[in-house]
């Protein structure tokens, strides 16, 4: 991940997993309060099912399946009507290198894409993807961003060492997320899963890349990418990598 960054109008190509909650006859404009609560619970569970942790994702998916079944539904009946959308993650003209790398890694783990959109009015970091994925990405970013800021301030009074320390943390977190995704993919090929659920997940994974890119192209046209690199203080960078191994990546939505 070193050298990865976000720039004006640059879509980050990502990998991951997402699940769809959409319109069903019982989930329509006339739904009562109880039905609304059911939908919100299912949305949260499916957001948790985007977790890089195979065990947590499976548990959340099982709970969503049970909840839907109780009300006469199944995951196979979930319609693919929810649209790709965008949401502002940050209002910021310029990102530090470690912030760009953090967004990149989180997007890879949540099957969203990121654009750094600049205009005369300022800069915005946009997340592109399905609602449940955007929610997951936002929660994970908020938790990690705050933690990395605090850890950096405690590391050193030197800005160069602080930034190098944060770079080390972020790059190691990106490696951990990528490794977990790869391990989960391998595990998924060897575990017994409901065929309908597996097919739904595979369709969702395959469609997300195309959908996100189509949304970006339609709304923003052509985009560009720019790689950037910077020198780091080796000792602080490696200290950051070591600290990153103790950071939990299992923070979830309440």
**Quick check: is 2 in a domain?**
no
- pLDDT of 194-243, one tens digit each? 555 555 555 555 577 788 888 988 888 887 776 666 788 999 999 999 99
pLDDT of residue 145: 95
Question: Which are the contacts of 84, defined by CB distance < 8 A and separation ≥ 6?
Answer: 128, 129, 130, 211, 212, 214, 215
**Quick check: is 163 in a domain?**
yes
- pLDDT of 13-59, one tens digit each? 333 333 333 333 333 443 445 555 665 666 666 666 555 555 565 66
Q: What is the mean pLDDT of residues 110-124?
A: 85
More confident residue, 56 or 113: 113
Q: Global pTM?
A: 0.65
Reduce the secondary structure of 169-228 to three states and give it as a string.
Answer: HHHHHHHHHHHHHHHHHHHHHHCCCCHHHHHHHHHHHHHHHHHHHHHHHHHHCCCCCCCC
Decide if pLDDT at 90 tops 80.
Answer: yes
Total domain count, the chain: 1
**Quick check: is 27 in a domain?**
no
The counts of H helices and E strands in the chain are 7, 3
Q: What is the mean pLDDT of residues 171-179?
A: 90
Report the chain's C-alpha Rg in angstroms: 19
**Quick check: is 134 in a domain?**
yes
More confident residue, 116 or 110: 116
**Quick check: is 14 in a domain?**
no
- pLDDT of 68-84, one tens digit each? 555 555 444 444 446 78
Tell me the average pLDDT of the chain: 72
Q: What is the mean pLDDT of residues 172-198?
A: 65
Confidence of residue 144 (pLDDT cuts 50, 70, 90): very high
Question: Which are the contacts of 40, defined by CB distance < 8 A and separation ≥ 6?
Answer: none
For residue 86, the enclosing domain spans 33-221+228-244
Decide if pLDDT at 146 tops 80.
Answer: yes
């Amino acid at each position: 991940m070193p050298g990865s960054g976000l720039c004006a109008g640059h879509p980050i190509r990502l990998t991951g997993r997402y699940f769809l909650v959409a319109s069903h006859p019982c989930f329509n404009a006339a739904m009562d309060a109880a039905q609304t609560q059911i939908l919100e619970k299912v949305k949260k569970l499916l957001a948790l099912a985007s977790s890089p942790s195979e065990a947590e994702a499976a548990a959340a998916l099982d709970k969503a399946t049970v909840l839907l079944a109780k009300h006469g539904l199944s995951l196979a009946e979930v319609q693919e009507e929810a649209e790709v959308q965008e949401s502002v993650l940050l209002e910021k003209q310029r990102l530090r290198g470690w912030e760009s790398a953090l967004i990149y890694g989180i997007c890879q783990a949540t099957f969203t894409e990121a654009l750094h959109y600049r205009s005369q009015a300022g800069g915005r970091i946009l997340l592109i993807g399905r609602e449940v994925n955007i929610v997951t990405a936002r929660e994970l970013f908020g938790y990690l961003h705050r933690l990395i800021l605090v850890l950096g301030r405690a590391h050193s009074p030197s800005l160069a060492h602080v930034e190098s320390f944060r770079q080390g943390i972020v790059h190691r977190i990106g490696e951990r997320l990528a490794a977990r995704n790869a391990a989960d993919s391998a595990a998924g090929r060897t575990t017994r899963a409901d065929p309908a659920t597996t097919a739904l997940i595979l369709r969702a994974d395959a469609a997300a890349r195309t959908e996100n890119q189509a949304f970006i192209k339609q709304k923003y046209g052509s985009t560009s990418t720019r790689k950037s690199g910077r020198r780091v203080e080796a000792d602080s960078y490696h200290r950051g990598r070591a600290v990153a191994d103790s950071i939990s990546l299992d923070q979830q939505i309440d």
